[in-house]
Structure 1
Amino acid sequence: MLRHLYAQVLIGLAAGIFVGYFWPHFGVEMKPLGDTFIRLIKMLITLVIFCTVSLGIARMESLKHVGRVGVKTLVYFEAVTTLALVIGLVVANVLRPGDGLNIDPATLDTQAVSHYVSEAHVAASQSFLEEIVPNSVVGAFAHGNLLQVLLFSVLFGVALSIMSRRSRFLSRVIEQSGEALMRIVEMIMRLAPLGAFGAMAFTVGKYGIGTLQQLGLLIVCFYLTSILFIVLVLGTISRWAGVGLWPLLRYLREELLIVLGTSTTESVLPRLMDKLERLGCPKPVVGLVLPTGYSFNLDGAAIYLTMTSLFIAQATNTHLSLLQQLGLLAVLLLTSKGGAGVAGAALVALTATLSTHNIIPVAGITLIIGIDRVLNEVRAIVNMIGNAVATIVVARWEGAFDAEAARKVLAAPRDRRAVNDAMSEPVDSVDARTPPAYAQERPN
């Protein structure tokens, strides 16, 4: 039992909570453990995306598939994130977690939000094209910008596809490099329990139980709304795609626990890509949908943005008419996009939203800074599940997902050690993971 990664991560989380509660100062000092684990994973993410996306596109039967998958992906993202925004807006209006606080915005310390305001201004000054097109390829990889790396990977994959037989050697090198990177990821994942311990000890030690009690209603509302969104919305979509939600969550339980501990979805991106491919999603679909979803399909962040915006309005007695709330929703449709799945990115998006909307006081963000890390734990989990479901849906939409085979994988014996052992073995990325419609002839 203790040999399984999920059991080790659970022990790490429990130990982190215990240490953070009883020895908060020591718990805060454990922060480097969590940060180091995340950095170890992040140093490989861009390279994993490059190998997966470029090789997947190079081996597609037709480049038309690339455009078709991209369009379907963006349509799905826009529909689901809009639904998440609306749900957060409705719940905040019904439960009204900010009522009764009666806070005067003039008494709030605006210095605490100055960092987020400056970052929001920088983000607002950049156009979408400036954000997605890097100044240099090396810079995109060095800064870990997923969108910029994804753009270069797609272009590189298209070039390999056009070169056809002449790109066989280079494709083989990229394939073997990808396999080597995944071996490194598996080695790093052995440190996940330690990373989860450090991150959780820091969270509990830094913010304590008192902060949770002060803004407990907002936390309860957000957690409850997130759970309902997962069960009702993502569960329904998942069943339509032919996969039960509970078996899928059980299949991804180790990744969910790691995200819970580290509060960022980036810590599991390479491993999540590999698991979805093994579930039956084609490599090109996984490579296009999942990294793009880390910026454009943040369901948890969408719920967070609407609920916290209305919470601040209610806490500061700022009345919003129906028209003003619709205006807020329109602003959120833009500002909720572009995050990178990193802890704290949603606070920048919230600051940009309130600054653009110009009705709710931006200083009100100081009310939730103390609990943002707590909110971010479930926010990251919703983001991860939403992107996993999105990948399956787009693969099913493309007619390239065998739901029956996936159900057999999910219904297999629950010995996750066997799955992890299989994940550490090299897998033929076309023959084993990619349906015939997506595969070109393999190089000899």
Structure 2
Amino acid sequence: MMFFGVLHRVYAGFINPPPVKKNTDAIRFGLLGASTIAPVALINPAKSHPDVVIAAVAARDRTRAEAYAKKHDIPIVHSTYEELLQDPCIDAIYIALPNNLHYEWSLRSIRAGKHVLLEKPSCSNAEEARALFNHPLLKAAGAPVLLEAFHYRFHPAWQAFHARIHSDPEAGRVKKAFAEQYLPKGAIPENDIRWRFDLAGGAMMDFGTYTMSCLRQIFNQELVEVVDANPQSLAASPDVDRAMSASYRTADGATGTLVADLSASGGWPLLASSWTKSLPRLGWPKCEAELEEQTLESSEGQVHTVKRNVTMWNHLAPSIYHRVDVEDTHMIRVGTQVVKSWKETKREKAYKWPSGQSQGEQEWWTSYRYQLEEFVNKIKGRNGSGVWVDAKDSIGQMEAIDATYRKAGLRVRPTSDFDLQA
């Protein structure tokens, strides 16, 4: 049954979402760029949303835009990005351009009065992020909505993981955290924009944005110190990280580690490392949290404590499959002696909200579909799940990435020529 459930969620969520009738006041999206991520991140999720219409696309190459529009049934093609922004029929803009263009075209979109769904990372660096998210246009009455698209956070699975760390009575303070994501070696071609410094590329600007965001979510606070940062840089471009591993410390002394690798090899289980070191590495994205031991009960000289570890498997595509492992180690002590100990392990899944915060939600809803639901809710002033990525969060994210690059001895990604004060 689990296998058929996976097939259904993949088919309905990613391949052929069931279409719905659109409302007359549906939000009309324009796409800046004919990107490869848009079908997964917005075009397919929009099919099942009655308040979203994908209305237009613009690309630097009109021929490419026309082919893209035909493939995805998008009715309007604009010759330039600016032409799309000036289209009075467009309410919201989806930006999945190269990282170095995020700041400029987000601000241009906001100036045009459009809401913005902005792919991560929000900007090339923290200077741009502060200028964008603190812009006066976003603080005015009736301001456009701007959201950095950390889609994984909107899925009930991530929030279930987060709750097991921060909301359960048996959850102590987070002591250690770990987040890792690997892309198999060879998955990204050598001429890809991710390998270009001038386009704000690198592992920390791609998978590293997720692992950084995960650590910050697990700790529920900022990382005040980069303890160590070890990049694997490209020979042809030393400031571009193919992979990054880094460790951090919070203000209360907790420690966290991230690993982000865009060309991972080796690490195959049950096989000698020498046999697999040149083979592409496979595996689920993973996040772990180790909590401090805390006292549950103390009476008549006996102390009952519990120490929790929580692991989240596959937070990036939880609608396909995910698992939250909760392991509680109980100990009963008399003085300093442990007289009894046992473990309680739970394996949990959450494809839907337990209390139905999203109307009409289905188990096959992807993290992108849940994200779109909240984006629409915010624009229309509706209550929803309450999950959001606010301005402070997005700024803190880029500050942490910049600090990691500095600790690694790499240059922070260049600031846009577009006037930061404009």
Higher strand proportion, which one?
2
Higher helix proportion, which one?
1
Normalising by the smaller structure, the TM-score range is under 0.3
Tell which has more relative contact order, 1 or 2 (C-alpha 8 A, sep 6+): 1
